[in-house]
Amino acid sequence: MTSVPTENETRQHICGVAVSLELIGGKWKGVILWHLCHKTLRFSQLRRRLPGVTQKMLTQQLRELERDNLVNRVVYAEVPPRVEYSLTTLGRSLEPTLRQLCSWGQAYHEDYRETSE
Amino acid sequence: MTSVPTENETRQHICGVAVSLELIGGKWKGVILWHLCHKTLRFSQLRRRLPGVTQKMLTQQLRELERDNLVNRVVYAEVPPRVEYSLTTLGRSLEPTLRQLCSWGQAYHEDYRETSE
DNA sequence: CCCAATAGTTTCTTTTTGGGTACTACCCCA
DNA sequence: TGGGGTAGTACCCAAAAAGAAACTATTGGG
């Protein structure tokens, strides 16, 4: 199971790769999840870790991750407000994949700097 | 190395996850690579395996994958034309990651069908 | 002579994604 | 009284991604 699709198995069989990429693709989601792998973070901490993200984008992406059951959002009724984001069990199950994406991407970046420099 | 970034390591250190997702993100690239993991395919074969893809999108995505050194494009000077796409060594190094994305996505799809049905 | 098949390109349009700016509410603190 | 920190919303706009449709070249086959 979950193997490369064979010649005659390509019918209406949902592609797991497509499903995953719909959930963690886009400019911010993968990176958000990766930071939350490390530890629970509040909104402003996450924001500081994502150079260039706007409040709107961060909120939006977090809401979608929450909707997709990858991230927990916990609001503390304090002043100033505190909202903490953490991975759900399902989100945590992505950790090995994120780890691989991270190390592959770093290796790529190191080996292929020349193309962009 | 390639671990979850620690509190005081978050400076200008490129995020591998972001690099990877830039390369394999989008609606088609991951799936294209996944099919090419299995075997070399010509344009029309790939097209049939990607329900809904237009010629334009497929060409465009393949050109980008080629530019990023993940895919080889070999043109045979025949009539009718034949162009074969295969993974480069670098592309092949993504196989474990794609495998994980695939099985994670399939599991997600099976467990969370209820939300969309 | 016309059609089919392959691997595209071109142009136009729509949809999705991302981003800028301003605004809110709450309370503490000086 | 007013500024700062937190976690947002609302509204509008630009850019990028995706898609639809029509067009090209080539040559073998009927």
3-state helix, strand, coil in chain B (%, to 5): 60, 10, 30
Inter-chain contacts counted by CB atoms under 8 A, chains A and B: 150
List all residues 6 or more positions away from A111 whose beta carbon is below 8 Å from its beta carbon. none
Facing residue for B16 by CB, picked from A14, A93, A102: A102
Could you tell me if A43 and A57 are in contact, meaning their C-beta atoms sit under 8 angstroms apart? no
Q: Which nucleotides of D are covered by protein (CB under 7 A)?
A: 4-11, 17-22, 25-28
Whether the per-residue pLDDT at A91 is higher than 60: the answer is: yes
Token pair recorded at residue B49: 């395996």
Per-residue pLDDT at A113: 64
List all residues 6 or more positions away from B6 whose beta carbon is below 8 Å from its beta carbon. A38
Smallest CA–CA distance, residue A56 to chain B, in Å, is 19
Strand D proximal to A49 Cβ, under 7 A: no
Residues A76, A80, A84: CA angle, nearest 5 degrees = 40
Is residue B104 less than 8 Å (CB to CB) from chain A?
yes
Whether the per-residue pLDDT at B91 is higher than 50: the answer is: yes
Interval B21-77: pLDDT, tens: 999 999 999 999 999 999 999 999 999 999 999 999 999 999 999 999 999 999 998
- Element (H or E) spanning B86, and its range? strand B82-87
Distances (CA, A) of A103 to A85, A110, B11: 24, 11, 17
pTM for the whole structure:
0.88
Whether the per-residue pLDDT at B1 is higher than 50: the answer is: no
Could you tell me if A33 and B66 are in contact, meaning their C-beta atoms sit under 8 angstroms apart? no
Lowest mean pLDDT among A12-26, A39-53, B41-55, B63-77: A12-26
> Do B97 and A101 lie within an 8 Å CB cutoff?
yes
Amino acid at B20: S
pLDDT band for position A14 (cuts 50, 70, 90): confident
Q: Which nucleotide is nearest to B25 (CA to C1')?
A: D17
Token pair recorded at residue A1: 């199971």
Q: How far is the CA of A96 from the C1' of C29 (A)?
A: 46
Is residue B103 less than 8 Å (CB to CB) from chain A?
yes
Distances (CA, A) of B10 to A37, B7, B39, B46, B92: 14, 6, 39, 40, 30
pLDDT band for position A77 (cuts 50, 70, 90): confident
pLDDT band for position A1 (cuts 50, 70, 90): very low
Smallest CA–CA distance, residue A100 to chain B, in Å, is 6
Whether the per-residue pLDDT at A99 is higher than 70: the answer is: yes
